[in-house]
Amino acid sequence: MSTNRRSFIRNVAMGSGALVASIPQASQGSNIPTAPAIFNMCGYAAPKLSKVRVGIVGLGMRGPGAVDRLSYIEGVEITALCDKFSDRVEKAQQILTKKSLPKAKAYSGEEGWKALCESNDVDLVYVTTPWHLHTPISVHAMKNGKHAASEVPAAKTIDECWELVETSENTRKHMMMLENCCYDFFELLTLNMVRNGLFGEIVHAEGAYIHDLSKDYLFDKNGYAEMWRLKENIQNNGSLYPTHGLGPIAQCMNINRGDKFDHLVSMSTHDFSLGAMANELAKSDEFFQPYAGKKYRGNMNTTLIKTDLGKSLMVQHDVSTPRPYSRIHLVSGTKGIAQKWPGPEKIALGHGWMKQDELTKMRAEHTPPIVRHIGDIAKNVGGHGGMDFIMDWRLIDCLRNGLPLDQDVYDAASWSCVFPLSGSSVANKSRSIDVPDFTRGAWKTNKPHDMTLNGGGTTGVRPVLKSEE
How is the beta sheet containing 147-150 ordered, strand by strand? 105-108, 76-83, 52-57, 124-127, 147-150, 175-177
CA distance 420 to 409: 17
User: pLDDT digit string (tens) for 81-111?
Assistant: 999 999 999 999 999 999 999 999 999 999 9
User: What pLDDT shows up at residue 294?
Assistant: 97
Q: Is 281 helix (H, G, I), strand (E, B) or coil?
A: helix
Residues 6+ apart with CB under 8 A from 148: 124, 125, 127, 137, 138, 139, 141, 142, 173, 174, 175, 176
Terminal-residue alpha carbon distance, the chain: 49
Q: Are 195 and 450 in contact (CB under 8 A)?
A: yes
Q: What range defines the domain where residue 235 resides?
A: 182-368+408-453
Q: Identify the pLDDT of residue 453.
A: 56
- The answer to whether residue 286 is domain-embedded is yes
227 and 275, same structural domain?
A: yes
Q: Helix 3-13 crosses helix 158-171 at what angle (to 10 degrees)? A: 150
Query: Which of 314, 433, 442, 443 shows the shortest CA–CA distance to 31?
Result: 433
Task: Reduce the DSSP state of residue 424 to 3 states and report it.
Answer: helix
Give the mean pLDDT of 24-41: 58
Which of 158, 179, 200 represents a domain boundary (last residue)? Answer: 179
pLDDT at 464 (0 to 100) = 64
What CA dihedral angle connects 12, 14, 20 and 21, to 10 degrees?
Answer: -70
Instruction: Check whether 3 has a pLDDT greater than 50.
Output: no
- Residue 390 domain-assigned (yes or no): no
- Map residue 459 onto helix, strand or coil: coil
Residue 402 region by backbone torsions, left for phi larger than 0, else alpha for psi between -120 and 50, else beta: left
Q: Letter for the amino acid at 18? A: A
Mean pLDDT of 202-219: 97
Assign 233 a pLDDT band (cuts: 50, 70, 90): very high
In a domain, 143, yes or no: yes
Residue where one domain finishes, among candidates 118, 148, 179 = 179
Residue 428 has pLDDT above 80, yes or no: yes
Say whether both 148 and 186 belong to one domain: no
Identify whether 384 is part of a domain: no
- In angstroms, the CA 265 to CA 426 distance is 8
pLDDT in tens, 457-467: 778 888 764 34
Q: Tell whether 285 is covered by a domain.
A: yes
Asked if residue 151 and residue 83 are part of one domain, the reply reads yes
CATH number reported for the structural domain that contains residue 202 in this entry: 3.30.360.10
What is the phi/psi pair of residue 298, to 5°?
-65, 145
The answer on 198 and 170 residing in a single domain is: no
* pLDDT for res 449: 74
What proportion of the chain, given as a percentage, has pLDDT over 70? 90
The CA–CA distances, whole Å, from 347 to 194, 196, 209 equal 12, 15, 21
The answer to whether residue 422 is domain-embedded is: yes
- Report yes or no: 454 and 369 within 8 Å, Cβ to Cβ: yes
Q: Both 112 and 129 in a single domain?
A: yes
* DSSP-assigned beta bridge partners for residue 259: 255
Instruction: Please tell me what DSSP assigns to residue 291.
Output: G
Q: What is the mean pLDDT of residues 289-309?
A: 98
188 and 121 within one domain: no
Cis amide linkage into residue 324, ω under 30° from 0? no
| Residue 240: partners with Cβ closer than 8 Å, 6 or more residues away | 232, 233, 297, 301, 317, 319, 419
Residue 382 belongs to some domain of the structure: no
Number of structural domains (the chain) is 2
Q: What is the CATH number of the domain that holds 132?
A: 3.40.50.720
Mean pLDDT, residues 351-377 taken together: 95
- The residue count of the chain comes to 469
Question: pLDDT of 374-424, one tens digit each?
Answer: 999 999 999 999 999 999 999 999 999 999 999 999 999 999 999 999 999
What's the pLDDT tens digit per position in 310-350?
Answer: 999 999 999 999 999 999 999 999 999 999 999 899 999 99
DSSP string, 82-148: EESSHHHHHHHHHHHHHTTPPPPEEEESTTHHHHHHH-SS-SEEEE-S-GGGHHHHHHHHHHTT-EE
Look at residue 378 and tell me if it is in a domain.
no
pLDDT, residue 6, reads 43
Residues 223 and 123 in one domain: no
In a 3-state reduction of DSSP, which class is residue 40? Answer: coil
Q: Give yes or no: residues 262 and 147 share one domain.
A: no
Across the range 294-301, mean pLDDT stands at 98
Asked whether residue 124 falls in the same domain as residue 234, the answer is: no
> Do residues 279 and 220 both lie within one domain?
yes
For residue range 50-89, list pLDDT tens digits in order.
Answer: 999 999 999 999 999 999 999 999 999 999 999 999 999 9
Distance CA(205)–CA(264), nearest Å, equals 14
Give the pLDDT band of residue 38 (cuts 50, 70, 90).
Answer: confident
Residues 416, 430 within the same domain: yes
Q: Are strands 301-307 and 312-318 parallel, antiparallel or unpaired?
A: antiparallel
- Rounded to an integer, the average pLDDT of 171-191 is 98
DSSP 450: -
Residues 412, 250 contacting (CB under 8 angstroms): no
Q: Are residues 121 and 48 in the same domain?
A: yes
Mean pLDDT (the chain, rounded): 91
